[in-house]
Homo-oligomer: A and B are copies of this chain.
Amino acid sequence: MRVLGLMSGTSADGIDVALVRVTGRGRNLRTRLERFCTFPYPAAVRSAVLRVANANRQPIVSVAEISQLHFLLGELYAEAVQRACRRFRVPLKRIDLIGCHGQTVYHQPRPELFAGRRIASTLQLGEAQVLAQRTGIPVVANFRPRDLAAGGQGAPLVPFVDYLLYRHPRRGRVALNIGGIANVTVIPAGARPEQVIAFDTGPGNMLIDAVVEAVTRGRQKFDRHGRLAASGRPNKGAVKSMLNHWFFRRPPPKSCGREQFGASFASWFLMGRRDRKAVDRIRTVTEYTIGSIVYAFKRFILPHSRIDEVIVSGGGARNDFLMRRLQEELPGLRFLPAGKLGVDEKAKEAFAFAVLAYQTWHGEPGNLPSATGARRAVALGTIVPGRR
């Protein structure tokens, strides 16, 4: 089957489109990313999305706005499919299925009191029936609610696809993604889906970037290839004491974000260290990030599974200093960039929702209960018929 995956991230930049070839079922499932492209949202759409997404708690939107944005995004997804097919030189009628994540405007897996009940919920916009009607192609959409209904967090869903991409009969592998936050999917050799675990290890590039931007007064946004960190000296005492953060000791599954390692953590870190050189501070925060990843491996991964390879994706994979130090700290593991084995990082989520759509289309589950916390594996989302 040729499947298109559509993804719009929370940054509301636009629509990612991945063309994926998928064959087989279950253990024989095979996937290949054939093409990828991105279409930015028009400015008016981006501001409408951000307006609605920022209306989380404040009563500042009308139901008309939400309903209209839902249908407008359906139209934009349809146009993205048509434009992508022209660019890929694949006729629409050669596409068998679309997987459309939609635009998340609310996600609260922790139950909250509403009309006398405790309710967890998630809301993705983009009317899949508009997309199916315009393209004539069946659509699987709205992947997160089913996992939530099964008691999960509705996220992360990508580890299932890591499992499909990286599982190996004799090699234990960890998919390590170093984005703003760093997360791992642990896939022991010959693992069944329920043996896979996934969790956030702590900060990824988030703290390093914040410190670089602050100490260079905005001239640099990140530490290219880790050169600044490499030229500084770490404050080992500070690294050690910051590694006492409660988050690291919590057993997985667990997730973190800006609440824990965002701007306020960075300010606190910088405040206490005015005396030291700029590059020393960058080195210290880089060592802290490395330390948190290494801790996760030593405490939660290596004692339980034999791991041979670590497949690294995300911006952190391009920080040579960080990669070299990880390899030094974990000498028994082989660190590989993701492009070698799998899917380019920027195409990963769109790719993932193409694969998850294929699973649902065949009545197969798409969540990993060990990653989301769901009580069971379930087929995710909802199916809109194409046109006969």
Contact = CB atoms under 8 A, between A and B. Distances in A.
Contacts of A149: 74, 127, 129-130, 132-134
Given A146-B133, A382-B384, A385-B360, A123 B62 contact: no
A284 to B, nearest CB: 39
A247 interface: no
A37 to B, nearest CB: 22
Interface in A82-121: 105-106, 108, 112, 114-117, 119-121
Nearest to A145: B129
> Which of A65, A72, A363 has the most CB atoms of chain B within a 10 A radius of its CB?
A65
A291 interface: no
A271 interface: no
Contacts of A116: 42, 44
A135 to B, nearest CB: 11
A369 to B, nearest CB: 13
Nearest 6 CB-CB pairings of A with B: A133-B149, A67-B123, A71-B121, A68-B114, A129-B145, A67-B106
29 contacts: A42-B115, A47-B115, A56-B63, A57-B64, A58-B62, A59-B59, A59-B60, A59-B62, A61-B63, A63-B106, A63-B123, A64-B112, A67-B106, A67-B121, A68-B114, A68-B115, A68-B119, A70-B121, A70-B123, A71-B119, A71-B121, A71-B145, A129-B142, A129-B382, A133-B149, A133-B378, A141-B382, A363-B385, A383-B385
